[in-house]
């Protein structure tokens, strides 16, 4: 603790720094005032240059030191030297007036604020020596000099004692401040020196208070921890109970809804079962009608297949006839080509015969033209026969596919007829089953109504219990939060 207090006494965080900084300012003010007095005395004696120089030498270094390092060792030494310098100057300019000696004593006493006994004693001794030198230079009586020296010795002793007491008081104030700061930071392990505890009732009281506070905080911390654990367990238990009751209430409500829904569903199913029975009867009749229609469709498909096969045979016959026509047309085309050659030869012979063969030439030309027309006509007929044969081939292919499709449809119709017969047999059994279901549903609906009434009463009781359990859980949570707050407030202290 002593090392820490010593460190703080030399830093800007403690009581010593505040006292020394204030002492700097007070000394600056007093030295400034006495410097003005010295300048006034110097001006009256035509020594204002000396007074002004002394004032500058005393004040400026102290002002600079205070700005740079308030209350530090350098500043304190500068202040002590400035105090002695101004005091000696006043003594010289006033001719040894008593008031200057009192002013010097006042300035030296101001050094008490630095809580530096060595500095203050040194300044007092330096002032005493300066007074003795001045007295000897001005022929003062030996008795007066001895008396003043004795008075200064007593004054130095008193100032030393006062400095010691002031330093002790500030020291203990610093200890109290550090103790308060330690408690504020939650530390209850501040170490007081046994010697100071024995000497100072205030430090003894702070030490006892720390011991009591440590014990109280320890008990409070233990109690807070137990309270936090108990509150947490109570809150957890309350939450579990609340959750269980709420789950039971929800389950009861759900069961009630399910029972009510089941009752409605059973009624709906009964209605649907009746409708299903009617629908099954209608389906059975429709299946019979469908079977008859499918049979008729199968007969029609058979007739259609026979007709398509007959048409296919006719188309084949048409193709054969078309090929025969094509052969005849080729024969006619050949005859026409030969006729054209004969007409060409006849025209040549008529040209040789001259005027006698002109009429024959005209006939030959007409025969040639007729042959050419016949040739073109046979070409057109050949083209048409080719197109007929092409169409015949396509029609034959399509009819073959149609016959296959009709045969496949006939097979499907026969299978559909068999399926409808099976449906009719199953529909008969469905009628019997639906009748049994309707009877069972009537019994189930009565039972569901009774269950819904009982579950509704249970749900109402569970809802009331859930409300009470939720209130208990809320109060348990509040207690747990209060316990956590207390525990957090106590745990910040070391104990």
User: How high does pLDDT run on average in the chain?
Assistant: 70
Report for 12-21, 232-241, 339-348: range of highest mean pLDDT:
339-348
Note the pLDDT of residue 238.
Answer: 66
- Given a cut of 60, whether residue 302 has pLDDT beyond it is yes
pLDDT tens digits, residue range 160-214? 666 566 566 656 666 666 656 666 666 665 666 666 666 666 666 666 666 666 6
- Using N-to-C axis directions, what is the helix angle for 15-44 and 73-94, rounded to 10°? 30
| pLDDT attached to residue 4 | 43
Contacting residues for 73 by C-beta, under 8 A, at least 6 apart: none
Q: Is the per-residue pLDDT at 412 higher than 50? A: yes
Domain 277-463: give its CATH code: 1.10.287.950
- Looking at residue 345, its pLDDT comes to 76
Q: What is the pLDDT of residues 115-135, one digit of tens each?
A: 777 887 888 888 888 877 777
The pLDDT-based confidence of 8 (bands split at 50, 70, 90) is: very low
* 223 pLDDT tier (thresholds 50, 70, 90): confident
Among 4-13, 85-94, 401-410, 420-429, the range of highest mean pLDDT = 85-94
Mean pLDDT, residues 440-459? 67
pTM: 0.39
Q: What percent of the chain has pLDDT over 70?
A: 41
Q: What is the structure's pLDDT at 92?
A: 83
- Which of 444, 441, 445, 457 has its CA nearest to residue 255? 457
Q: Which has the closest alpha carbon to 291: 428, 424, 429, 408?
A: 424
Comparing 148 with 397, the larger pLDDT belongs to 397
Per-residue pLDDT, 95? 81
Each domain of the chain, given as residue ranges in start order, spans 2-180, 277-463
Burial class (CB in 10 A: 0-12, 13-18, 19+), 224: buried
402 pLDDT exceeds 70? no
Q: What is the pLDDT of residue 3?
A: 46
pLDDT of residue 5: 44
């Amino acid at each position: 603790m002593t090392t820490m207090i010593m460190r703080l006494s030399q830093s800007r965080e403690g009581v010593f720094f505040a006292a020394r900084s204030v002492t700097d300012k007070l000394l600056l003010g007093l030295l400034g005032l006495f410097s003005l007095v010295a300048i006034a005395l110097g001006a009256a004696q035509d020594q204002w240059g000396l007074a002004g120089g002394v004032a500058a030498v005393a004040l400026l270094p102290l002002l600079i030191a205070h700005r740079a390092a308030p209350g530090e060792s350098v500043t304190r030494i500068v202040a002590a030297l400035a105090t002695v310098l101004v005091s000696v100057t006043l003594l010289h300019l006033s001719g040894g007036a008593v008031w200057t000696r009192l002013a010097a004593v006042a300035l030296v006493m101001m050094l008490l604020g630095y809580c530096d006994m060595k500095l203050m004693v040194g300044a007092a001794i330096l002032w005493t020596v300066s007074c003795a030198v001045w007295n000897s230079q001005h022929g003062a009586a030996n008795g007066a000099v001895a008396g003043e020296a004795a008075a200064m010795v007593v004054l130095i002793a008193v100032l030393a004692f006062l400095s010691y007491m002031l330093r002790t008081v500030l020291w203990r104030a610093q200890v109290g401040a550090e103790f308060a700061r330690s408690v504020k930071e939650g530390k209850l392990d501040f170490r007081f020196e046994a010697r100071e505890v024995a000497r100072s009732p205030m430090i003894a009281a702070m030490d006892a208070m720390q011991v009591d506070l440590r014990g109280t905080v320890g008990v409070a911390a233990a109690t807070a921890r137990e309270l936090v654990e108990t509150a947490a367990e109570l809150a957890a238990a309350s939450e579990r109970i609340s959750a269980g009751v709420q789950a039971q209430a929800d389950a009861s409500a759900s069961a009630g809804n399910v029972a009510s829904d089941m009752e409605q569903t059973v009624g709906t199913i009964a209605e649907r079962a009746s409708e299903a029975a009617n629908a099954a009867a209608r389906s059975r009749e429709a299946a019979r009608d469908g079977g008859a229609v499918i049979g008729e469709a199968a007969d029609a498909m058979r007739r259609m297949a026979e007709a398509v096969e007959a048409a296919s045979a006719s188309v084949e016959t048409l193709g054969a006839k078309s090929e025969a026509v094509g052969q005849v047309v080729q024969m006619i085309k050949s005859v026409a080509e030969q006729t054209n050659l004969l007409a060409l030869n006849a025209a040549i012979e008529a040209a040789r015969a001259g005027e006698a063969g002109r009429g024959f030439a005209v006939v030959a030309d007409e025969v040639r033209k007729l042959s050419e027309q016949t040739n073109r006509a046979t070409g057109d007929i050949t083209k048409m026969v080719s197109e007929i044969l092409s169409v015949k081939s396509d029609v034959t292919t399509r009819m073959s596919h149609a016959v296959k499709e009709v045969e496949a449809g006939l097979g499907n119709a026969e299978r559909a007829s068999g399926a409808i017969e099976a449906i009719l047999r199953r529909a008969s059994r469905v009628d019997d089953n639906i009748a049994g279901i309707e009877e069972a549903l009537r019994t189930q609906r009565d039972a569901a109504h009774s269950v819904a009434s009982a579950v509704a009463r249970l749900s109402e009781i569970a809802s009331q219990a859930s409300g009470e359990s939720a209130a208990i859980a809320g109060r348990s949570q509040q207690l747990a939060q209060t316990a956590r707050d207390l525990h957090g407030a106590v745990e910040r202290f070391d104990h």
